[in-house]
Copies of this chain bind each other. A is one copy, B any other.
Amino acid sequence: MYNHRTTDRLEYFSDAVLAIAATLLATELPKPEAGTDLLGEILKNWPHYAAFAASFLFICVAWSNHHNMFIYIKKTDQYLLILHILFLMFVTLQSFTTGLLALHVGKPDERTAALIYHTILVLMTVLYNCVWWYATRKKGLLEENTDPALVKLLTREYAIAPVLHLAALIISFWNVAFSIIPIVLLYIYFALPRFSEKKIRERNESIQG
């Protein structure tokens, strides 16, 4: 009972942090003042709106995956908590790096802003994977009857995010615009139905059936 409750509050805390981080993104959008050409200003500010949409979707995808992960992680210990807190710290930095990128797109320091943006995403997704790796290796944290094949599948699926973000980081040294390619690939991957999800559904049907 003690440990189950622990996971519950960890999940509520994470949900709250992710929800706030996602909602605060919109408060950073520049609102052109009266007296300016409103439509022109809005169109000129497109990097802000694109960065808002990308970061909002990113945080929601992180929430959704986080949620799937904690179907399997049933107990926590102090080390898992520390890894998880560091993961959340990089989530809350999203609004900062998104704003930075939007401010500098098409400006001399575009590359620096893109490198900062991608570095935070690499660190965040690496920490997400660390939480999972630790939970699968340490005895007694995963749900007891978790299918080892499913654990392996999820480990591989979760690892795709830091790999593609690292690719985006490396590409942005050479060309900032092209660094969007691995990000788009990542979104397509997350939008398509996944093997692990099919496995989960089959498992649920066999439990409930």
Q: Which residues of A contact B (CB under 8 A)?
A: 1-3, 5-6, 9, 11-13, 15-27, 29, 31-39, 42, 53, 56-57, 60, 63-64, 67, 71, 77-78, 81-82, 85, 88-89, 92-96, 99-100, 103-104, 107-109, 112-113, 116, 191, 193-194, 197, 200, 204, 207-208
Contact = CB atoms under 8 A, between A and B. Distances in A.
11 contacts: A1-B207, A1-B208, A13-B63, A16-B16, A16-B20, A24-B27, A25-B92, A29-B96, A38-B112, A60-B88, A64-B85
Given A26-B93, A38-B112, A95-B26, A100 B60 contact: no
A178 B9 CA distance: 35
Nearest to A102: B31
Contact of A64 (B31, B57, B81, B204): B81
Given A9-B11, A16-B19, A20-B19, A109 B191 contact: no
Contacts of A78: 191, 193-194, 197
